Chain A
């Protein structure tokens, strides 16, 4: 496998993991515009462990994820006091505070970023990504997943039916944070470097876009979003190398992405992958009359 392909695959795997970290809270109706916050906590946590304390990589991954999960758990109580757009802003502010704090810890490199020696190659990154997908898919099939889905569709009705909103949402935030931590830990060890600038507001925005464009109704939405929007720009770049006439594709790939976002939100605001679509594909969709009410 060429270096280019290996690098692309690693980025793809990490993007998928981070997308799932945003998906779990989003599936419970909580928009997290602060993915970078949890990723940074995991990345700097795990990076510090391997670099400063000589902890083996696998343990650093677990601890980094645990650390990010703990932070997510603690921050979710105050953040969940806020609602709607205030919550989006609170997660955004949280990520900025994390970045601000990390910038001021000289032991972690400050503004210059943190360089680590340990390397997480494809044999580690890809299986972890597969495990994350598997875990989230399993999670969404449990009773917890049902509660999450109920809250996503209608908070008040879910509450009436006895779903404990607070604990379900805290759990969703915590699990999301922990997954983000894994993503961060892999990110820092894949590139042997992390800094606050490159994992900032834009990073959070892109990850949230992957998830919302893929769709938050099913587990497959974020997978589609992350895969498509990681590979499509690369595809455009490859195309532009074929012929000088296609050169514009290379420079306009971000614009294409932006336009795709706008158009998708107009035509398919619930995301590309919906529950109805999965049911239809799986052939398990009941006759229309039976569930006309739940159709998206």
Chain B
């Protein structure tokens, strides 16, 4: 029973990781861009929702209904994501042709990460804040096993949204343009894809996914901090690599796997072991099977 509960806990953590991993894998798969601002988008949505919905003496304590606050949080994350698109991705075109240039958008996104996290810190302080849920009991009990409702929601939402995304990518015109850009931006331009118009779509999707994940995370664990995205994002990067860069279903599987490995390792060996299994596994997989555990993608190899 104990083990079963741990497995459930792992999968529920995995549900949130999967969300963030999908956002990562989408930007890297479509645009070859390791978007390090995703933890910031995650945090912006979580903190904004907290700030707007709770009363108190902090900034923007407007006491909104939680649903409106959550919508505002996601909108803010999407706007921030578009801002990032404007200032990072647009500048990633090769201009001087040396080996470190593929780092450009990565570096600017790190810059944005620092900006957003410290902006949140100067608005609301660095201390963890309690994220109150409007519902009394957020746990579901089935035969002695405890399921967190926010966790379950995030797991189901993640699967549903990925199914939607899959449909979008394979069946619609936008999806086809995106896949053309993923394959070769120049060829896509020649084929009449308006790259500058289509690319923001990826950022909108990534922003809303990470924003939603941030709110669900805050609801699941009950706290928000300006740096809440960092730990989740590093695990989500691990999940993304396990699933194969650019593979959205792989990201879900990777997220669940990382969540599971993490929770089981902590419950078996104690909290201090947590980094070794996840990152050790990741390092081994990167070295032995760089395309990830699931399927083949040729994304991210060599120069960009």
Interface residues of A (CB under 8 A from B): 26, 28-31, 78-79, 81-86, 88-90, 92-94, 96-97, 99-101, 103-104, 110-111, 151-155, 201-202, 205, 208-209, 212-213, 216-217, 251-252, 254-255, 257-262, 265-266, 269-270, 296
Contact = CB atoms under 8 A, between A and B. Distances in A.
25 contacts: A82-B286, A82-B290, A84-B301, A84-B304, A85-B28, A85-B106, A86-B286, A86-B290, A86-B300, A89-B237, A153-B98, A154-B99, A201-B230, A205-B110, A208-B107, A216-B100, A251-B122, A254-B115, A258-B111, A261-B114, A265-B104, A265-B107, A269-B91, A270-B101, A296-B96
A209 B104 CA distance: 10
Given A82-B287, A209-B107, A26 B279 contact: no
Given A84-B301, A84-B302, A265-B104, A255 B286 contact: no
CB-CB nearest 10 A-B residue pairs: A29-B99, A261-B111, A100-B275, A258-B115, A258-B114, A96-B279, A100-B276, A85-B300, A254-B118, A262-B111
Given A93-B283, A255-B115, A212 B103 contact: yes
A93 B122 CA distance: 31
B96 A270 contact: yes
Contacts, number: 162
Contacts of B101: 269-270
B125 to A, nearest CB: 11
Contact of A153 (B91, B99, B102, B282): B99
B61 interface: no
A100 B279 CA distance: 9
Nearest to A248: B122
B44 to A, nearest CB: 14
Contacts of A257: 111, 114
B150 to A, nearest CB: 26
B283 A266 contact: no
B273 A255 contact: no
Contacts of A78: 283, 287
A84 to B, nearest CB: 5
Interface in B80-117: 87-88, 91, 95-108, 110-116
Interface string B138-152: 000000000000000
A205 to B, nearest CB: 6
Chain A interface, >50% SS class: helix
A212 B110 CA distance: 12
A200 to B, nearest CB: 9
Nearest to B28: A85
Q: Which of A30, A84, A110 has the most CB of B within 10 A?
A: A84
A89 B110 CA distance: 14
A262 B115 contact: yes
A252 B32 CA distance: 31
A85 B245 contact: yes
Given A257-B111, A259-B115, A260-B111, 20 more contacts: A85-B28, A85-B102, A88-B106, A89-B34, A89-B237, A90-B283, A90-B286, A93-B282, A93-B286, A111-B272, A152-B98, A154-B99, A155-B99, A212-B103, A217-B98, A261-B110, A262-B112, A262-B115, A266-B108, A270-B96
B11 interface: no
Contacts of B129: none
Given A96-B234, A154-B98, A257-B114, A212 B107 contact: yes
A217 B87 CA distance: 24
A111 B275 CA distance: 12
A104 B102 CA distance: 35
B183 interface: no
Contacts of B136: none
Q: Which of B107, B113, B230 has the most CB of A within 10 A?
A: B107
A30 B113 CA distance: 23
B304 to A, nearest CB: 7
Contacts of B122: 251-252, 255
B46 to A, nearest CB: 19
Given A82-B290, A259-B111, A31 B100 contact: yes
B43 to A, nearest CB: 14
Contacts of A153: 97-99
Contact of A83 (B34, B275, B301): B301
Contacts of A154: 97-99
Interface in B1-40: 28, 32, 34
A100 B99 contact: no
A99 B234 CA distance: 14
A266 B91 contact: yes
A239 B102 CA distance: 36
Contacts of B96: 269-270, 296
Contact of A152 (B99, B230, B287): B99
A151 B286 contact: no
B272 A110 contact: yes
A97 B277 CA distance: 8
Nearest to B119: A255
A3 to B, nearest CB: 26
B114 A255 contact: yes
B238 interface: yes
